[in-house]
Amino acid sequence: MTKIAIVIFSDTETMEALGKVSNAFMLALESIENKDDLKIIFEGAGTKWIGVLEDEKHKIHQVYKMVKPAITGVCAFCASSFGVKSQVEKAGIELLSEYKQHPSLRNLVVEGYEIISF
């Protein structure tokens, strides 16, 4: 089975960033359709996307809803640093703090995941 970890670092403030998240979600949908072992993690400024995408009026909200079950979590440290921890908690997404309050990307490598970052 193919193991894919999508890590979203992109901020929310540009059209380029929206394009990156859209492309990440297209990869996620393709992976879901192919029954890959998929994990999606929001890290750094990317943690701000959760609150943005929870808005039902956002142009990619529907795609977000389709991939949301594959979201493994959000960096706990970065969510706090960017002031979005409560938005992540409200969305019901886990805050990851495996290594110094960050997700362990190393563990993903050890577990055989191909990490693709956006």
1 pLDDT higher than 90: no
Closest to 88 measured CA to CA, from 98, 99, 77, 112: 77
Mean pLDDT of 84-113: 98
Percent residues over pLDDT 90 in the chain: 99
Question: What is the topology classification, in CATH, of domain 3-117?
Answer: Hypothetical Protein Ychn; Chain: A, (3.40.1260)
Look over the chain and give the mean of its residue pLDDT values, rounded to a whole number: 97
Tokens matching residue 8: 């979203």
Is there a contact between 74 and 47 (Cβ–Cβ < 8 Å)? yes
> What confidence tier does 15 reach under pLDDT thresholds 50, 70, 90?
very high
Q: List, in order, residues 6 or more apart from 61 with CB less than 8 Å away.
A: 53, 54, 55
Q: What is the pLDDT of residues 36-82, one digit of tens each?
A: 999 999 999 999 999 999 999 999 999 999 999 999 999 999 999 99
CA-to-CA distance for 44 and 27, rounded, in angstroms?
20
Is there a contact between 28 and 72 (Cβ–Cβ < 8 Å)? no
Mean pLDDT of 93-115: 98
105 pLDDT higher than 90: yes
H/E run at residue 80: helix 76-81
Is there a contact between 117 and 21 (Cβ–Cβ < 8 Å)? no
The domain limits of the chain are: 3-117
- What pLDDT does 82 receive? 98
Give the pTM: 0.95
For the chain, what is the total number of helices (H) and then of strands (E)? 6, 5
Q: List, in order, residues 6 or more apart from 62 with CB less than 8 Å away.
A: none
